[in-house]
Amino acid sequence: MGGLVWLASYPKSGNTWLRTFLHHLLLNPSQPLPPDELIRFTLGDHHRAWYDKAAGASTWGWPESEISKLRPRAQALMTGAFPDSVFVKTHSILSAVDDVPLICPEVTTGAIYVVRDPRDVVISAADHYGLTIDEMIDRMNSPTSTTGGTRDSVVTYHGTWSAHVRSWTHAPMPGFLALRYEDMEQKPLKTFGGIAQFLGLKPPRERLERAIRFSSFKVVQNQEARHGFRERSEHSQRFFRVGKSGQWKNKLTPEQVARIEHDHGTQMQRFGYLDAESLAANAG
């Protein structure tokens, strides 16, 4: 039994890329693995099955106040999924609902948080959720933004993009690593090598490079085309859509860019997506 290591991000910010890399690094397969293999490697804190197990009954239809009460027990049960540390994907904001933490510190060993330029997030997330860009901009600035609440998934609380990022990064928990999607793309050896080092791993360079290659966008896109991926949204033709930083420069209107920078400028500046001059220009 091990503690939980959270693999956290706002939706469509690189969480699946991180999980795919870790999957290939730790298992070290000779060939790339199908995307659906990820469920054998990482858990998801949204899966209702853990809450059903904690309750000893189906929780479908239960009020959220009752689901919240089950969260500490459900996450404690997750620690028994593997003998060592247990990696858990989450899109939850680091906050509390009904005075119960969404991420329970008692069972937490550490966390890796991936942040991505919100101007690119909005494009990918709009496609995933079947929304227009303007609708997704609204959603990213909504404090009540959630997903889930289905037969298979409990509600996941996102909040705004800025609140999500700040909640995880302004006062990091022990054993915490924050990284940028853009560095995963543009500085893969340094960034993914840093992830391995953070986890106390010292893989041979050949193994590290193979895990990076097997989790590259081109490879996983081909794997999805061959095998499918259950995390693909019903609104999208594919989960792994483009995977390039800077799409927003050609996809968003100046008005849309200005809205995002106005809504999220402070956190964007913290992570190098906006300079002080641009932040001041969009503050009004």
pLDDT band at 84 (very low <50, low <70, confident <90, very high): confident
More confident residue, 263 or 29: 263
Mean local confidence (pLDDT), 249-265? 97
Domain of 51: which CATH number? 3.40.50.300
Percent residues over pLDDT 70 in the chain: 87
Mean per-residue pLDDT, 49-55: 98
Task: Give the span between the Cα atoms of 283 and 59, in whole angstroms.
Answer: 44
Q: Does residue 82 fall inside a structural domain?
A: yes
Structure tokens at 148: 């889930």
Mean pLDDT of the chain: 89
25 in any annotated domain: yes
Q: Is the pLDDT of residue 198 over 60?
A: yes
Residue 13: inside a domain? yes
For residue 235, report the phi and psi dihedrals to the nearest 5 degrees.
Answer: -85, -15
* Number of other residues whose CB lies within 10 A of the CB of residue 11: 19
Contact 84, 22 (CB under 8 A): no
Give me the helices (H) in the chain, please: 15-27, 48-55, 64-78, 118-129, 133-140, 161-169, 181-186, 188-198, 205-214, 217-227, 248-251, 254-270, 276-282
Q: Tell me if 132 is assigned to some domain.
A: no
- Is 277 domain-assigned? no
Q: Does a structural domain hold residue 109? A: yes
d(CA 144, CA 189): 37
Query: Is the residue at 98 inside a domain?
Result: yes
Q: Is 6 a residue whose pLDDT tops 90?
A: yes
At 204-238, the pLDDT tens digits run 999 999 999 888 877 767 666 655 555 444 544 44
* Total of domains in the chain: 1
Rounded Cα gap, residues 3 and 27, in angstroms: 20
- The closest alpha carbon to 115, from 269, 275, 277, belongs to 269
Rounded to two decimals, the pTM is 0.90
Q: What's the mean pLDDT in 9-22? A: 92
pLDDT in tens, 149-195: 999 999 999 999 999 999 999 987 779 999 999 999 999 999 999 99
Mean pLDDT of 256-277: 94
**First CA to last CA distance, the chain:** 51
- Domain span including residue 227: 4-118+145-233
pLDDT score, position 41 = 79
pLDDT at 21: 93
Residue 139 lies in a domain: no
